[in-house]
Amino acid sequence: TYVIAEPCVDVKDRACVDECPVDCIYEGARCLYIHPDECVDCGACEPVCPVEAIYYEDDVPDQWKAYTPANAEFFDDLGSPGGAQKLGVIDGDHPLVAALPPAGE
Ligand code: F3S
Ligand code: F3S
């Protein structure tokens, strides 16, 4: 799967969403998350992110390794919705993201 890491937090450019053929990039309050079971590893999202937040799971930089399980755990309560668009913005974030200070501080 691909993973969205910390550079997305409070940026949420959403260019990646438009590229994904299976609509598996879900929007939380401060960050977006890729559903690990729904992502088909097409890789279309990775180059379009202006802040380079997206990585193939094997290539996530060391300081953001926790984002691989965080992307997966974001769906613990949601299951596999089978499409992000119908959910819209999900109210909340993984605790890892929620604990970050607001951007710019
Ligand atoms: Fe975030 Fe980059 Fe997508 S900032 S919303 S991962 S294009
Ligand atoms: Fe979609 Fe990116 Fe996976 S475009 S299918 S989330 S590699």
* Residue range 43-80, pLDDT digits in tens: 999 999 999 999 999 999 999 999 999 999 999 999 99
How much distance in Å is there from the Cα of 77 to the middle of ligand 1?
A: 22
Tell the residue nearest (CA) to atom 6 of ligand 2: 39
Is the complex ipTM more than 0.90? yes
β-strand partners of 20: none
Average pLDDT in the chain: 97
Q: Residue 102 above 90 pLDDT?
A: no
**Ligand 2 near 41 CB (within 6 A):** yes
DSSP symbols for 9-53: TTT---HHHHH-TT--EEE-SS-EEE-TTT------SGGG-TT--
If 0-12 CB within 10 Å is exposed, 13-18 middle and 19+ buried, where does residue 45 land?
buried
- Residue 104: pLDDT band with limits 50, 70, 90: low
How remote is the CA of residue 45 from the centroid of ligand 1, in Å?
Answer: 8
Q: Give the position of tokens 């690990």.
A: 36
Mean pLDDT of 7-36: 98
